[in-house]
Amino acid sequence: MSNPDSFVGVDVAKAWMDVAWLGGQTLRLDHTPEAIAGLLEQLRAQPPVLVVMEATGGLETELASALAAAGMPVAVVNPRQVRDYAKACGRLAKTDRIDAQVRAAFACAIRPQVRALPDQHTRALGDLLARRRQLVEMRVQEKLRLQQASSVQPASLREHIEWLDERIGRLDIDLTHALRSSPAWRDKDDLLKAIPGVGSLTRATMLALLPELGSLSRRQIAALVGVAPFNRDSGQHQGGRVIWGGRAQVRRTLYMAVVAGLRCNPVVRGFYDHLRGQGKPAKVAITACMRKLLTIMNAMLKHHSPWTPGLDMQHSC
């Protein structure tokens, strides 16, 4: 049996971090490099089986990266998983220290998988994508305001839209430069670029937000993104299969790639027409095409094979 003190949960706030060991010990530290270094020394003295923290919009990145660099087994999990676990255990009270204790218990009971964290360059590429997404959302809002603007507003709105267009264009150049400046990314980018309908933004999103692409099986990568169908059966009732969870931004990007692929990618178009011919609803067919396109990308990067319209999907395991 594992020592209960070897499971650690961390709640990361903007100003401090609460660390809890399953055995009951808790510790509050300032969110500073010096405090992180001190925590690493303490954990080296009694190496943990697993350290669990939640994804908190980037606040966890510094500590998680430091733990991973030190060889500590760290898992950054979806906050929903920990909340559901706490509710199942009847733990309704919530403070930062209690949250850290719940994560330590979650680490022991669930043993979430330890995945390699994105390196500095991958995180930087993800930050560029996030900023581009923010500017695109601003542009959409400004264009909507322009449709209902009073007589004194259009000039200001158009000026801001033009500025947003310029900044988004610059970010597109920065994204392309980031992809081409890394030999590893350049090779992957060259492979994915040959797929009809897969543009530069899709390639950057897949490489930055799905670094596991090419290293997992087709079933694992589909489940990770959230395009794998899950059963909904109970007793005599057989429910429809649904997708659930996963990485929403990657899924949205795959959707747009499939929409483009329906016009120019013979594999995607042929698969979509085949499913529609079998009576599948359009939404189901598009989701299946997303999964197929993802599987093709995964197989190409795993086997370092170029795009061919007749790619055999049976070898995409």
Q: Among 158, 181, 204, identify where a domain stops.
A: 181
Enumerate the β-bridge partners of residue 233.
238
CATH of the domain at 99: 3.30.420.10
- pLDDT at site 314: 43
Asked which of 181, 208, 231 is the last residue of a domain, the reply is: 181
Partners of residue 74 on adjacent β-strands: 51
3-state secondary structure of 212: coil
SS3 of 128-192: the string is: HHHHHHHHHHHHHHHHHHHHCCCCCCHHHHHHHHHHHHHHHHHHHHHHHHHHHHCHHHHHHHHHH
How much is the pLDDT for 232?
67
- pLDDT band (50, 70, 90) for residue 315: very low
Query: In angstroms, rounded to a whole number, what is the distance separating the alpha carbons of residues 221 and 225?
Result: 6
| Percentage of residues of the chain with pLDDT beyond 90 | 65
- Domain shared by 177 and 251, yes or no: no
Average pLDDT rounded to a whole number, residues 281-308: 94
Asked if residue 105 and residue 24 are part of one domain, the reply reads: yes
> In this structure, are 317 and 191 located in the same domain?
yes
Are 104 and 139 found together in one domain?
no
Q: What is the pLDDT of residues 187-240, one digit of tens each?
A: 999 999 999 999 999 999 999 999 899 999 999 999 999 998 877 666 766 666
Looking at residues 58-63, what average pLDDT do you find? 86
- pLDDT (tens digit per residue) in 70-125: 889 999 998 989 999 999 999 888 899 999 999 999 999 999 988 877 778 888 88
Residue 262 has pLDDT above 70, yes or no: yes
Assess whether pLDDT exceeds 80 at residue 32: yes
Domain of 173, in residue numbers? 119-181
197 φψ region: left (φ > 0), alpha (ψ -120 to 50), beta (else): left
Last residue of a domain, one of 181, 204, 235: 181
Q: 175 and 232 in one domain?
A: no
Q: How far apart are CA 292 and CA 259, in angstroms?
A: 13
Residue 28, phi then psi, degrees to nearest 5 = -110, 130
Q: How many domains does the chain have?
A: 3
| pTM score, whole prediction | 0.75
**172-187: per-residue pLDDT in tens?**
999 988 888 888 788 9
Q: Which helix (H) or strand (E) holds 238?
A: strand 237-238
φ, ψ of residue 142 in degrees (nearest 5): -65, -40
Integer-rounded Cα radius of gyration of the chain? 23
Distance CA 203, CA 172 (A): 12
Query: What rounded mean pLDDT belongs to the chain?
Result: 89
pLDDT at 312: 46
Rounded to an integer, the average pLDDT of 35-48 is 92
- To which residue do tokens 């197989």 refer? 299
Same structural domain for residues 293 and 189?
A: yes
- More confident call, 124 vs 1: 124
Q: How far apart are CA 8 and CA 10, in angstroms?
A: 7
* First and final C-alpha spacing in the chain: 35
Distance, in Å, from the CA atom of 150 to the CA atom of 146, rounded to the nearest integer, reads 9
Mean pLDDT of 290-303: 95
Reported as a single tens digit per residue, the pLDDT across 238-248 is: 666 777 778 89
pLDDT at 1: 46
